[in-house]
Amino acid sequence: MFPDSSHPSPAVKICGITQEQQARDIITLGADALGINFWPKSKRYLPLEKAGWLHEIQGMTTLVAVLVNADARTLETLIEQRLVHVLQLHGDETPAEVEALQACGLQVIKALAVRDRESLRRIGEYPCESILLDAYNPGLYGGTGETFPWDLAVMAREQYPDKRILLSGGLTPANVRQAVEEVRPAGVDVASGVESAPGIKDLGMVREFIEQVRSAVVA
């Protein structure tokens, strides 16, 4: 199960990985999970036909497919080939669709864009245990680098204690420790905050990001 609730600190997912060697390097640095973006409109898009190398690292980490309103063929390929362990859904997927995907034996993380307290209500509608909170930006589905008020994430954690709340949106090595200490999420998710270019990670920034998470003091 990702994130692992037995961790003394939040799980770390580095998202938007496009290269096998970078994946291996980031695993070595201590990331708990890697996000692979299968949404064609993403700057970090990895086509399915070029994703065969994921089989080579499956036993080394948790692999998360980042999807936005994925078509049936993409879902069938991911499920049948077992390329990933988790589906992270950023689109308009309904609670019923999430339930159906969970029935296929894969863990599902539902990503929700939050802008106010009212938008937190949607968390309770979804059957999956893990919910990723991201910044609200009309027409965009994650990876914008924009932050949202962390107090909303605190409210989400308090209102839904049975959910694992993952924090995303605008996290960087400079602010993630504060975010962890204020929000106490089950996990944190970063893409643009540790990049030298879209889909290319700066390994020094990745190392610092992970170190900052691990050094956070969580009561």
Let me know: does 66 contact 91? Beta carbons within 8 Å.
no
* E-state strands within the chain: 11-15, 33-37, 62-67, 86-89, 107-114, 130-135, 164-167, 187-190, 195-197, 200-201
Exactly one of 15, 32, 128, 189 is catalytic; which is it? 15
Q: Does residue 162 carry a catalytic annotation?
A: no
Q: Does residue 134 carry a catalytic annotation?
A: yes
| Whole-number Å distance between alpha carbons of 178 and 4 | 21
Let me know: does 211 contact 29? Beta carbons within 8 Å.
no
Length of the chain measured in residues: 219
| Whole-number Å distance between alpha carbons of 88 and 193 | 19
Exactly one of 32, 128, 134, 189 is catalytic; which is it? 134
Rg (CA), the chain: 16
- Residues serving a catalytic function are 15, 134
